Amino acid sequence: MATQEGSWRSATHRGQWRATLATYAYPIIGDMPVADVNTDAVLRVLQPVWTSKQVTAIRLRGRIERILNWAKALGLRAGENPAQWKGHLENLLQRPKREKEHHLALPYKEIPAFMAELRQHESTVARALELCVLTATRSAEVFGARWDEVNFDDRVWTIDKSRMKPGKEHSVPLSDRAIEILEGLPREEGHQHVFIGAPGRPLGHASMWKLLRHLRPGFVPHGFRASFSTWASNETHHANHVIELSLAHAVGTEVERVYKRGTIMFNKRRELMQEWSRYCANRAMQTGEVVQLQHG
């Protein structure tokens, strides 16, 4: 630990290293010479917490492995590392359940200021990110957008099921600002992609992440879907299934799904997305100023 902790990211990380070993490893193998630590000893440390405290146990295993590798490098032990996962402990312990990935979302009250800042950037990637926010779609769906998916007359963007995570076609109602973005984009003859990077090629996926990392470090494009959902739930009167359908989430029974994909639900979704667009452009939220509302 003394040789490695200088590269660890925080005092908390250093503390966790020591705490997990002191709590779970030292009572069982703390006094054992490193040359004598074998698979049975490692299992006696890990098995009691492997399923009940899985995140802790996974980190604990990795720390024991690092220590035994250090000992081997110094010539204090020989042979394979008994704490190694691949090819060894993976055959003796239950495979860890994959944790659900959570995307850090920008608080929705900060969205108008962010969008105002984003509009100051005149790049194609900025317009792609803006459209991603306004439509509450996934970044991959935006990057893969094609002109033949966009119906300007009906103000609809229809994403083919092959490009949707749920595997079902998704029709996105386009707000006034979304239409303005699309109409202002350059087109390249013989090229169907909406967002073009290098000549003849679609915009690279990493470009949106790079821009957002510059504007709001720590946040990811996918998080704007959560920002939209939280805003819609807290600040509007739209039904939950309208919000969920706007995110292309499955809702209710199959009969309900057929009904909700109809014209009535689509019109409600259009109202919601237009409200979201207006919220994103809210001058008072951007600057804190009081804006006089005009009647009529």
pLDDT tens, 137-171? 998 899 889 999 999 999 999 998 888 887 888 99
Closest CA to 229 of 254, 248, 256: 248
DSSP classification of residue 47:
G
Give 23-36 pLDDT, tens digit per residue.
Answer: 999 999 999 999 99
Distance CA 241, CA 244 (A): 5
The gap from C-alpha 245 to its chain's centroid, in whole angstroms, comes to 19
- DSSP labels, 171-225: EEEPPHHHHHHHHTS---TT--BSSB-STTSBPPHHHHHHHHHHHSTT--TTHHH
Q: Write the CATH number of the domain with boundaries 5-91.
A: 1.10.150.130
Domain with CATH 1.10.150.130 in the chain: 5-91
Q: Which residues contact 126 (CB under 8 A, 6 or more apart)?
A: 118, 119, 211
Assign domain 108-287 to a CATH class: mainly alpha
pLDDT of residue 290: 36
Per DSSP, what are the bridge partners of residue 171? 158
**From-to residues of CATH 1.10.443.10 in the chain:** 108-287
Question: What is the longest distance spanned by two Cα atoms in the chain?
Answer: 84
Give the C-alpha separation, 64 to 21, whole Å: 8
User: pTM (2 decimals)?
Assistant: 0.61
Taking residues 195-222, what's their average pLDDT?
A: 83
Q: What is the average pLDDT score of the chain?
A: 85
Would you say how long the chain is, in residues? 296
212: closest CA among 83, 114, 65, 96? 114
